[in-house]
Structures are given as structure tokens and as C-alpha cells.
Structure 1
Amino acid sequence: MESENYVVATIKSWNIKVYNDIIEKYPGKWFLITDPKELTVDNIKLINPKYIFFPHWSNIVPDEILNLTSCVCFHETNLPYGRGSCPLQNLIANGYKETVVSALKMTKDIDAGPVYLKEALSLEGLAEEIYIRNSYIVAEMIKTIISVNPKPKEQVGKATIFKNRKPSDSKISSDKKNLQELFDHIRMLDAETYPRAFIENGSFRYEISRPALRTGEIIADVHISKINGDDND
């Protein structure tokens, strides 16, 4: 029996590492796409995959590709709650300590497709630590999907939509009530390519990362830059 072809499309280093360490060793022939320019109808037709998995992908997938094969994305909420962008950041901002990862079939409507399976995910730690932990959970979910070929089930319940976060939302506001809220704001933004938490004072911008919450204090790294240029004056 001829083996199946599969594609993993991702742009994040932690997902690429898990692909190289784990996923590409699964049964079948595997292809990795890390550049959105490579996700073309012609390439997908050439590979002819049974599934395309999108562990972390920021670009809209064209309908032509969605119609070619089963496309599966992974969303860090208990769908239909929390459709939309930045699920991890929105969950932490709303006080959640844990969530689930939903593996769903992609449709033209974002995060609205039927769900293959869900797995628990802790929201403890820095954002990048959560994403790394999530990448291993996703790898196991991919293994289950290619092994069992579950039939996805339509989402049940009232859908809620998370707002799209802007870089300016990373600014630390003055309405933080306690150190826990401040810590959560800093840690939820502490990941590769995400706009770090920051404050501005006069001509300077202070970007804060690697926070550690201690009794009565937060210890963190601070990167200071001039708002209007890189002069050393």
C-alpha cells in the first residue's frame, strides 16, 4: 500500500523544531512549508497531501487550497468560544489559567470549521513557554488524526469572537490593579516576534521581558531605546 503524503505549514521556530524532531518521523511522506510564498495551489497539487496541518500560520489560506484537501489548524480555545486572533493573549488577559487546543477543519470562515479533537493546555509560564508546550501537544494531535482519521464534528454553542490585538495594546496601562495583572500582561507577550510589553517615559521606550513574579515584586529584563531614533545623545 502506497504511503500517504502530508504537509505541515508553520512559521514559528518551536513548531519547526517539533516537526524535525518528531512529526517527520511519523508514517507517511512529510513536507514542511515555512514560507507563505511556497503555499501555492501548484505545490499542493504536486504533493497531493491527505492533510495539510497548520500549527501556527498567520496568513489567510486561499479557498482554492482549502478545497483541494483537508486543512487542519490548531486554535488555543474551547471553540466556539474565542474565535479570532491572539487566543493565548486574550485568554490570559481575561484571567484564564488553562484552556484547550482545538484541532479543526479549516473553512472560509475563520475558526468556524468542525472540530477533530481537543486537548488540555496549561496557560502557566511565559508566552513562548506555552507555545513550546503547545507544539508537543499539537504533534500528538497530528499523530492521532493521521492514525484514526476522525470525522470532525460541527461546533456546538454560541460563538464568541476575540478582538484583534494591535502593537499599541502591548503598552502597560495605568489600570493594572496588582502585580499579578502586571505580570500576566508582560508574560503573555513574551514570545518570538510578538510586540513586548512596554512603557514610554519622555523620549524613551522601555520594553519588558522575562518577568518573574516574586513576593511583592516582579523581576524582569528591560530594553531601553529612544522613541525617535537611535542617537546616543
Structure 2
Amino acid sequence: MLSALRCGAGLDTGDIYIKQPLSLHGSAEEIFLRADGVIEQMIEQIVREEPIATPQRGDPVLFSRRTPAMSNLASCPEGDLSSWYDQIRMLDAEGYPHAFLEAHGIRLEFRRVSMRSDGLHADVKIMPIPPN
């Protein structure tokens, strides 16, 4: 769900104006583009209907900030193509450190993944590992 929140003292702590479903299928870039349209509709709805915000319920779910090292595909469960697919697609957007593998002084970065009957297909950028 995509939520429109009242600005509050903490991050994502404000009351909720409206929620709309958002499909998480496709790459991060595709999800962001879909979110743009949903957000535009939500803004129009808030301006038009002036809904009353309701307090959030339940315990907060806190997420730690991702580090670039978390984009390493070596952390995916062995042999689990679904994990590889999700890792690559969720990092396939501008500003995100793309999913990667490193071996023998080479870094492979993966983008534009698709799941097919014969396995995963993706674009791969191959380059030397940059010195520290």
C-alpha cells in the first residue's frame, strides 16, 4: 500500500489521510513510475475531498538503511533464482547500487532482469573492481 501521511515529528509517524494499493511487480524503476501516477491521483483526491487523517495503529516496523555491500548477490540463498530475481529487480533504479557479484578482480553488475522458463535473463556490466 502507498500511504499519504500527515507530516509529524518522526519519519513516517503521522496520521494517515488515504492508502492506495501499489503493485510491486517489475523493476524498482517500473514501480517508481507506477507510484508517480498513484501519488498524483492521491494528491488530487486529498485536494478534492479534504479527508480527515486517522492515527496509525499497530507497532512500528523499523528498517535499517541499506549499505552497498547488501547488493552483493552472494548473500542470496544458494540455488534460489527467485531471490536473485528479487535482489536484481529491486535495485534496478537510478541512484541504487545495482546487484553485483565479484570474483577474480572483476565486478559484474546486473540490471533489467526477467524470469523466464529457462532461468533468469539480465543485462550485465563487467568491469575491473575499482581500487579502494
Q: Same fold (TM over 0.5)?
A: yes
Greater relative contact order: 1 or 2 (C-alpha under 8 angstroms, separation 6 or more)? 2
State how 1:132-143 maps to structure 2 within 5 Å.
132-143=33-44
Q: Tell me the distance in 1 between the aligned counterparts of 2:22 and 2:75.
A: 30
Matches within 5 A, 1:35-46: none
Show structure 2 runs of 5+ residues with no match: none
Alpha-carbon separation, structure 2, partners of 1:174 and 1:167:
12
The two structures, once aligned, show a CA RMSD in angstroms of 1.2
Q: Is the 8 A contact 1:179 1:216 kept in 2?
A: no
SS state of the match for residue 101, structure 2?
strand
Q: Partners of 2:126 and 2:120 in 1: how far apart?
A: 18
Residues 103 and 157 (structure 1 numbering): CA distance in 2 closer, same or farther, change over 3 Å? Answer: same
Matched, 1:160 2:61: yes
CA gap 1:175/1:139 in 2 versus in 1, 3 angstroms: closer
Q: How many residues align?
A: 130
Task: Check if 1:111 corresponds to 2:21.
Answer: no
Shift of 1:216: 3.2
Residue from 189, 199, 202 that aligns with 2:91? 189
**What residue is the counterpart of 2:32 in the other structure?**
131
Q: What percent identity do the matched residue pairs reach?
A: 38
The 1:162–1:215 alpha-carbon spacing in structure 2 relative to 1, beyond 3 Å, is same
User: Which residue does the alignment assign to 1:148?
Assistant: 49
Q: Which of residues 186, 197, 211 in structure 1 aligns to 2:113?
A: 211
- 1:228 equivalent to 2:130? Answer yes
2:74 to 173, 180, 188: 173
TM-score (norm 2): 0.93
CA contact 2:108–2:127 (8 Å) conserved in 1: yes
- Listed as ranges, the matches of 1:67-86 within 5 Å are none
Deviations 1:204-231 (A, max 9, x none): 11100000111131111011111136xx
**1:173 is paired with a residue of what secondary structure?**
helix
Aligned to 1:9: none
Return structure 1 stretches of 4+ with deviation > 6 angstroms: none
Q: Which runs of 5+ in 1 are unaligned?
A: 1-99
TM-score normalized by the length of structure 1: 0.54
Code of the aligned partner of 2:7: M
Query: Counterparts of 1:191 and 1:174 in 2: how far apart (Å)?
Result: 20
